[in-house]
């Protein structure tokens, strides 16, 4: 067997392999022997069709199976002997196979990049954290009061402003067909002419009235025209918000008093603020790394990340009642390609740091993460059964990757000079608005520090974290600015 490796880019390679004629012939014989008893050809008894007839009728199928067997047998060894470590299964670009003649195939594949690391030790980092003061606690308590509001049926009077009404509505614009709407829930407000006509109505009462649509209405077909409404009130309720007192605290759970509830809320807010600040700090550090690191990433890895984005988007639009087949997927993938490349680069950067620092995740840490998830989600299964289910779906490896990523960031921060900046409500709100303008939202990246899986074909061998190594003599020095 002979082979030659071609370097197309830093991560894209091709391998041409020449297989001896004797081996090609032997593989043809194996495939034909396996095929012969399975096919029925008119004019021949089962299993008795001549080889020439089989080759004529099933040429494509036979050659495809022969090629698959030869690639499976020789590709990985040939690539390794040539000094390449594939992270994706080969994509055949050229195949030449014929009995009695040396065979040849050329396969494209990806390798892990030589990662150029920015300086990650001794960073100056600012951790921006929301200040949890009495005002923040009071705001959260008010939110809890509003969420605990009850909707009480109103029997002793007609509809008033602020009441919630459930209506069946028949709408007849002048010159247009009537439209009917069932079980429409509206909170009556003073600024809407429709609501004013409903005031005073009681449950089961019907009323008919007309309203002239203003000339400047956005719906030009109806602007300036009268619209006749026929409404029937099916339900009438008032919204009652509980008072902030000891009884309210007790109703929410194991809180003996309002003071106990306030302490609980403060602790919860402080925990959330710390987690939020850490997440933001991690992202800031990673953004700095990505801006400094411009190494090439494998196209097959980017394609897989885009597949994940498409899957998430398809599920989202389907929940909204939109047929995913109507989405322009080519345009969608193009719009998110840069984001996918950035996600893949993030994974390789974190993997490389984790490998250099020998950051590992043991089974006990993964189990602890699973148990915490089960407790938060009130999972009723046994731990063993739930973990087995996660293993079968590949989720355990994802959890391990996330834990390793957290440990890598923790290590980076342990080597950094961290300054904490407390933000009051307005400053924190401004920060969130700034971030919202910068980002349209990023789903969880496929590529974390747990390992890179995949390639461009359906079944992939993948590449573990140890496949990712730093590019020697290409690590930036401390002159890089990473004050985030």
> 302 vs 309, 333, 336, 337, 339, CA distance in Å?
11, 10, 10, 7, 9
C-alpha closest to that of 113 among 479, 475, 471, 474: 471
Please indicate, yes or no, if residue 483 is contained in any of the structural domains: no
Quick one: 358 and 460 in the same domain? Answer: yes
Taking the alpha carbons at both ends of the chain, their separation in whole angstroms is 54
290 within 8 A of 349, measured Cβ to Cβ: yes
Same domain, 178 and 319: no
The per-residue pLDDT for 474 is 39
Residue 261 located in a structural domain: yes
| Unique residue bearing structure tokens 């020789």 | 74
The answer to whether residue 245 sits within a structural domain is: no
Nearest to 27 by CA among 69, 90, 61, 60: 69
Q: Is residue 128 part of a domain?
A: yes
Helix, strand or coil, per DSSP, at residue 268: helix
Say yes or no: 313 and 185 in one domain.
no
**471 and 428 Cβ atoms separated by less than 8 Å:** no
Residue 59 pLDDT: 87
**Do residues 167 and 237 touch, judged by C-beta distance below 8 A?**
no
For the chain, how many structural domains are there in total? 3
With residue 134 as reference, give the H or E element that holds it.
helix 134-147
Q: Dig out the tokens for 378 from the structure.
A: 């009130």
Both 53 and 184 in a single domain? no
Secondary structure string (H, E, C) spanning 60-91? HHHHHHHHHHHHHHHHHHHHHHCCCCECCCCE
Whether residues 307 and 414 fall in one domain: yes
Q: Are 274 and 160 within one domain?
A: no
Q: Does one domain contain both 209 and 269?
A: no
Phi, psi of 476 (to 5 degrees): -65, 150
CATH code: domain of residue 35:
3.30.70.1050
Range of the domain at 17: 2-110
Residues in the chain: 484
Please tell me the predicted confidence (pLDDT) of residue 479.
38
Instruction: Render each residue's pLDDT in the chain as its tens digit; 484 residues.
Output: 899 999 999 999 999 999 999 999 999 999 988 888 888 888 787 777 888 888 888 888 999 999 999 999 999 999 999 999 999 989 999 999 999 999 999 999 999 999 989 999 999 999 999 999 999 999 999 999 999 999 999 998 999 999 999 999 999 998 889 999 999 999 999 999 999 999 999 999 999 999 998 888 888 877 888 999 999 999 999 999 999 999 999 999 889 999 999 999 999 999 999 999 999 999 999 999 999 998 999 999 999 999 999 999 999 999 999 999 999 999 999 999 999 999 999 999 999 999 999 999 999 999 999 999 999 999 999 999 999 999 998 899 999 999 999 999 999 999 999 999 999 999 999 999 888 877 654 444 444 554 444 444 333 333 444 555 555 433 333 333 333 3
Q: Do residues 232 and 373 both lie within one domain?
A: no
Structural domain contains residue 115: no
């Amino acid at each position: 067997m002979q082979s030659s490796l071609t370097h197309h880019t830093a991560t894209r390679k091709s391998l041409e392999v020449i297989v001896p004629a004797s081996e090609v012939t032997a593989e043809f014989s194996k495939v034909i022997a396996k095929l012969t008893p399975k096919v029925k050809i008119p004019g021949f008894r089962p299993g008795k069709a001549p080889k020439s007839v089989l080759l004529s009728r099933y040429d494509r199928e036979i050659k495809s199976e022969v090629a698959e067997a030869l690639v499976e047998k020789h590709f990985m060894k040939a690539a390794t002997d040539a000094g390449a470590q594939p992270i994706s299964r080969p994509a055949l670009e050229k195949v030449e196979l014929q009995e009695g003649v040396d065979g040849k195939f050329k396969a494209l594949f990806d390798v892990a990049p030589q990662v150029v690391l920015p300086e990650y030790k001794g960073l100056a980092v600012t951790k921006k954290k929301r200040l949890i003061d009495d005002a923040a606690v009071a705001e959260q308590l008010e939110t809890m009061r509003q969420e605990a509001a009850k909707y009480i049926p109103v029997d002793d009077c007609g509809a008033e402003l602020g009441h919630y009404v459930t209506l069946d509505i028949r709408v007849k614009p002048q010159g247009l067909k009537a439209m009917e709407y069932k079980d429409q829930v509206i909170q009556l407000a003073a600024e809407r002419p429709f609501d004013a006509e409903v005031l005073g109505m009681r449950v089961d009462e019907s009323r008919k009235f007309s309203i002239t649509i203003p000339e400047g209405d956005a719906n030009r077909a109806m602007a300036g025209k009268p619209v006749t409404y026929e409404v029937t009130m099916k339900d009438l309720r008032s919204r009652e918000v509980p008072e902030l007192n000891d009884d309210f605290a007790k109703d929410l759970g194991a809180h003996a008093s309002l003071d106990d509830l306030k302490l609980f809320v403060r602790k919860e807010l402080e925990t959330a603020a710390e987690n939020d600040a850490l997440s933001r700090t991690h992202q800031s550090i990673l953004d700095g790394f990505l801006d400094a690191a411009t190494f090439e990433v494998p196209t097959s890895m980017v394609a897989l990340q885009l597949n994940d984005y498409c899957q998430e988007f398809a599920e989202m639009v389907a929940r909204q009642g939109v047929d995913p087949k109507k989405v322009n997927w080519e345009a969608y993938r193009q719009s998110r390609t840069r984001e996918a490349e950035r996600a893949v680069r993030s994974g390789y950067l974190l993997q490389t740091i984790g490998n250099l620092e020998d950051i590992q995740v043991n089974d006990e840490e993964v189990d602890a993460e699973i148990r915490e998830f089960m407790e938060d989600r009130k999972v009723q299964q046994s731990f063993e059964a739930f973990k087995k289910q996660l293993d079968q779906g590949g989720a355990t490896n994802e959890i391990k990757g996330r834990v390793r990523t957290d440990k890598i960031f923790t290590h980076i921060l342990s080597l950094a000079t961290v300054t904490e900046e407390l933000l009051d409500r307005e400053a924190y709100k401004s920060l969130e608005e700034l971030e919202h303008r910068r980002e349209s939202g990023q789903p969880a990246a496929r590529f974390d520090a747990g390992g890179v899986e995949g390639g461009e074909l359906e079944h992939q061998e993948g590449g573990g974290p140890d496949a990712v190594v730093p590019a020697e003599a290409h690590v930036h020095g401390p002159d890089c600015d990473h004050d985030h």
